[in-house]
Each structure stands twice: as C-alpha cells, then as structure tokens.
C-alpha cells in the first residue's frame, strides 16, 4: 500500500507576503523622482527597459524580470497608493509588461509601464491602449485616503443588493414579515411569475426586476423621532437670511411632528420670484428632517408616463421617476422636492402630469404601472416650488400649505451680498477679506445695478465677477489688495 509523505510538499497554501509600503501622491505624471513603484535592486541593477510580469499577489508582491540569462525576481518596495489595485490586476491576470525605470540608491524607480506580447513588442489587450487608459485615469485621480483595516469590521449591509431570485427568496423566507402586507402578497405572486416556465422570458425578467426594486427599499413605518427645534432654527439661520415668516412656519411643522410623531397632512408650496431661495429652503427642511431627498423638475416632464412608468407588456418597459426616487433613496420615507409646479399642467403627451401628483400627495398610496403594486406614501413629505400660483390647478393647490415668499428689499440685498455671497465666493477662490475690499459706495453701486431684478442670483454673479477681477490684479499686477469703489464697480459690471 503506497504511503504519501506531505512533509516536502511545496507551500501551496503559504500565506501571501506583502513586501511593499504605499505612499500618497497627487502628481499627474511619473518620473524617476516621482515613480509609480520602486523595486529592489540590491542584488543587481536592472536595465532601463525591462520585460516581465508581476507575480500573483496571493503568493508574493514582486516582479519577475525575463532576461537572456533566465528569470530573476525583485520584491516591490514601494507603490504609489493609486496603483495598488492595478498592479494586483496585472499580477492576477499574468499580463506581460515592459517597465521603464532608473536604478537609484533606494531601488529601481519605475515611471512607465507598457503592455507587450510575450517575447515581443506588440500590444495585447486592446488597440486603443487599455492599460494606458487606466494608468492615465489613475494619474488624474486624487490620492486615496489612508484607511486602517479592521479585521473585526462587519460588512456594511447597505452594500448588499437583492438581485438574484435566490437572494430574494431567502429574504422573503427570513424577513418577509417586515414588509407591508400588500407588498408581501405582491412579492409572492411576482416570485411565482419569475420562477415559472409557463410565461415568456420577458415576463420573468420584468418580474425579477420589479422584485429587486421593491425588496431593496426599506419600508419604514410612519413614526418619526422628535427633532430639536433649536437645531432646526440654527440650520435655517445658516441657510437663509430674513424670511422670518417662512422660518416660523417650518418650526411650527417641527413642533407638530414632535407632538404627533407623524408628518403633517399637507406639504409646503413655496411661491415667489425666481432666485429668492425657494429650493434652498426645501433642501434645508430635508436636512432638518434627516431624510433623503429627491427632486422632480416638472418643467422637463411632458408625459404622465414619465412619472407613472410604463406597462410590462412592452419589452423596454421601466419604472417611472417617482418609483426610481424610492429606489435611489433606499427607503420609503423621503422628501420630494417638486420644482416649478406651475409648469406641471403644460403636458405635451397623452395626459396631464399634474394629475399624477394628486395620488402621491394624498398619502393614500401611489401605484406605478411597471411595479403594479400600491406603494405607501405616508412617509413622503412633498415640498413644491412655483413662480406663479395662478398656473396651478385648484385640486393641486389644495394639497399644500402655501407660503408666499416676497422678494428681498434693497437693505436685505446689501446684507446678503456682504455677509453671505461675497464671503462664500472669496473662500472658494482662496482670497482673504483684506485682499478684496468692497466699500459702501461700491456696495450701493452693486445693489443699484440689480435693483430691478428679482432674487439674489445676480448678486452672487456680481460677487464672483468682482472677486475674479481682484484675484487677477493680485496675481498679474502684483498688488496686495484691491479696493473697489462705485466707479470701478459700474465700469466692471457694465
């Protein structure tokens, strides 16, 4: 009977050995001074152009040089952190490459990597230079953050997506009770369709896609935790100047949520001239509620089907924008920001997009034509913006608490320009306040220039223009500061 002795067996399962350290670099090109990687050259000096391949990283992090006198290996000592994954991919796939480098005291500094055929100089993977494309992209990227590896760290559940029938089936078995009753019954029916061989492959594909969308949404209850009114007020003051009536209405909503732990029955409709900060208010409310948000731009929606989705009878059927918003948010509680609601009645298709919104706003549930299941909307808080409320139908208006936002006065515009718009622009351009000085006369000239325009967008553009001019004078003319007076502002802004 043969006896096998495994004592001399090669170390197939030996742990991999990492020989290198990484360093952070943001250089857009490589050179001997800023190489992609550094190889060990203590045993011998390597040629300027050397061919070979990177070893499989599960064994050792090294490069095998192929020369006339055979094969020699050199450990990788250092790698630009941006290229770690690329070198691992080259090693795992045994890609033959040619290195260009220079021998230095600290090692062989590699600054160029080219793909070659075995024993020759022609490219392998693509005529379009796939490897060079990847290298150029990595050079254009920023240095990755240095993350400490935690062996006890659990995988984030948010990274997991239910896409296969097996994973969806397992989820239904283990956590089906967490779903609303109507969605659980709907999922069982669609799971049967996706598994059935009595329906067309197209129907099975649509059923599986619809299941994947619905199962990856966390269906939350309509219970909302209390919100700190003082923190809410701080956020509003940080985002908006003035608008005390608007802030008061939002704080009242917060107090109502804290008492009832449910969202108000009506959303907000912000009506006012362009540029008065209506969308900014909506984003601030979403931040206060700590909910994901999505936007519906009604000016770009011409057909109700864009909102409701298309029926599965079509091969290219897909969900509507509203259902996709739930999918992107990953949960059923979110803020819908409906921009330009007054444009919703201008549908050019086979219906009125505004009518679709009525079911979404009633908090009774929304049904997508592709999903074919009623989605609960009790956790949806709608905030709409409009320039002209006369263009909004009465049924749609009745679903909102309307807040009229007046235009800013000249004094308010002065404060917004000097305290908000200009400092924000200066910070973005890395300018100090004492490098771009706006005198009172210059401030009056800016406000007078845009006295007949609504909102503050023109003021922000003026701040951008003045700061850019100051930066030009500092960098080109060598001045230390630029002080704008009224005449300079009028000449610069035209």
Per-residue exposure over 100-119, b if at least 16 CB sit within 10 Å of its own CB, e if not: bbbeeeebbbbbbbbbbeee
In the structure encoding, which two tokens stand for residue 174, read together? 């283990």
Q: Quick check: 127 pLDDT over 70?
A: no
The pLDDT > 70 percentage for the chain reads: 90
Q: What is the pLDDT of residue 252?
A: 92
Q: Which residues does 250 contact at the CB level (< 8 Å), separation at least 6?
A: 232, 236, 268, 281, 284, 285, 288
In the structure encoding, which two tokens stand for residue 342, read together? 């007054």
Mean pLDDT of 374-400: 89
**Coil vs helix vs strand at 325:** helix
Q: Quick check: 118 pLDDT over 70?
A: no
Q: Which ranges constitute the DSSP H helices of 398-456? A: 410-416, 422-428, 440-449
- Label residue 368 exposed, middle or buried (CB < 10 Å: 0-12, 13-18, 19+): buried
Number of residues written out for the chain = 494
Q: Quick check: 274 pLDDT over 90?
A: no
Q: Quick check: 430 pLDDT over 50?
A: yes
pLDDT-based confidence at 130, cuts 50/70/90? confident
In the structure encoding, which two tokens stand for residue 329, read together? 């948010």
Q: Quick check: 427 pLDDT over 70?
A: yes
Paired with 339 in beta bridges are: 297
**Coil vs helix vs strand at 123:** coil
CA distances to 12, 272, 343, 373 from 453, in Å: 75, 13, 22, 47
pLDDT tens-place string over residues 304-314: 888 889 999 88
Nearest to 63 by CA among 29, 42, 38: 38
Q: Quick check: 4 pLDDT over 50?
A: no
- Which of 106 and 299 is assigned the larger pLDDT? 106
Nearest to 298 by CA among 330, 352, 255, 340: 340
pLDDT-based confidence at 2, cuts 50/70/90? very low
pLDDT tens-place string over residues 81-97: 889 888 888 888 888 88
pLDDT-based confidence at 17, cuts 50/70/90? confident
Asked if residues 196 and 185 have their Cβ atoms less than 8 Å apart, the reply is no
In the structure encoding, which two tokens stand for residue 298, read together? 């009604």
Q: Which residues does 430 contact at the CB level (< 8 Å), separation at least 6?
A: none
pLDDT tens-place string over residues 154-191: 444 445 577 888 888 888 887 888 888 999 999 999 99
**Coil vs helix vs strand at 420:** helix
Nearest to 450 by CA among 404, 408, 388: 408
SS (H, E, C) 162-190: CCCHHHHHHHHHHHHHHCCHHHHHHHHHH
């Amino acid at each position: 009977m043969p006896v096998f002795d495994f004592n001399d067996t090669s170390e197939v399962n030996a742990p991999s050995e990492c020989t290198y350290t990484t360093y952070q670099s943001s250089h857009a090109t490589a050179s001997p001074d800023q190489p992609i990687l550094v190889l060990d050259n203590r045993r011998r000096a390597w040629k300027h152009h050397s061919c070979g391949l990177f070893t499989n990283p599960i064994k050792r992090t090294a490069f095998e040089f192929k020369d006339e006198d055979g094969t020699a290996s050199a450990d990788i000592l250092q790698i630009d952190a941006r290229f770690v994954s690329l070198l691992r991919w080259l090693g795992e796939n045994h890609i033959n490459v040619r290195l260009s480098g220079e021998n230095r005291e600290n090692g062989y500094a590699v600054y160029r990597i080219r793909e070659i055929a075995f024993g020759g100089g022609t490219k392998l993977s693509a005529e379009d230079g796939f490897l060079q494309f990847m290298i150029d992209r990595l050079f254009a990227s920023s240095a990755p953050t240095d993350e400490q590896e935690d062996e006890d760290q659990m995988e984030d559940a948010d990274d997991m997506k239910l896409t296969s029938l097996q994973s969806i089936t397992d989820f239904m078995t283990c956590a089906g009770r967490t779903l609303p009753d109507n969605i659980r019954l709907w999922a069982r029916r669609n799971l049967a369709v996706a598994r059935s061989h009595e329906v067309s492959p197209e129907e099975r594909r649509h059923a599986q896609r619809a299941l994947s969308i619905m199962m990856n949404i966390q269906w939350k209850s309509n219970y909302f935790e209390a919100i700190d009114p003082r923190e809410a007020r701080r956020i509003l003051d940080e985002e908006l100047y003035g608008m005390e009536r608007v802030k008061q209405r939002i704080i009242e909503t917060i107090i109502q949520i804290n008492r009832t732990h449910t969202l108000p029955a009506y959303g907000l409709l912000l009506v006012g001239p362009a540029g008065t900060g209506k969308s900014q208010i909506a984003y601030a409310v979403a931040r206060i509620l700590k909910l994901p948000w999505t936007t519906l731009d009604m000016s770009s929606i011409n057909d109700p089907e864009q909102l409701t989705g298309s029926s599965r009878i079509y091969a290219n059927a897909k969900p509507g924008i509203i259902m996709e918003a739930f999918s992107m948010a990953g949960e059923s509680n979110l803020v819908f920001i409906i921009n330009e609601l007054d444009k919703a009645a201008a549908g050019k298709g086979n219906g009125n997009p505004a009518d679709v919104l009525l079911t979404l706003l009633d908090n009774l549930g929304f049904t997508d034509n592709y999903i074919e299941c009623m989605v609960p909307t009790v956790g949806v808080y709608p905030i709409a913006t409009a320039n002209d409320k006369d263009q909004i139908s009465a049924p749609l208006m009745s679903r909102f608490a309307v807040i009229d936002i007046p235009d800013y006065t000249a004094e308010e515009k002065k404060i917004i320009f000097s305290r908000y718009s200009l400092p924000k622009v200066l910070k973005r351009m890395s300018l100090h306040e004492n490098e771009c000085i706006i005198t009172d006369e210059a401030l009056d000239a800016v406000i007078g220039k845009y006295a007949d325009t609504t909102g503050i967008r023109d003021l922000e553009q003026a701040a951008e223009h003045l700061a850019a001019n100051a930066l030009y004078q500092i960098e080109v003319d060598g001045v230390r500061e630029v002080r704008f007076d009224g005449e300079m502002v009028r000449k610069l802004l035209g």
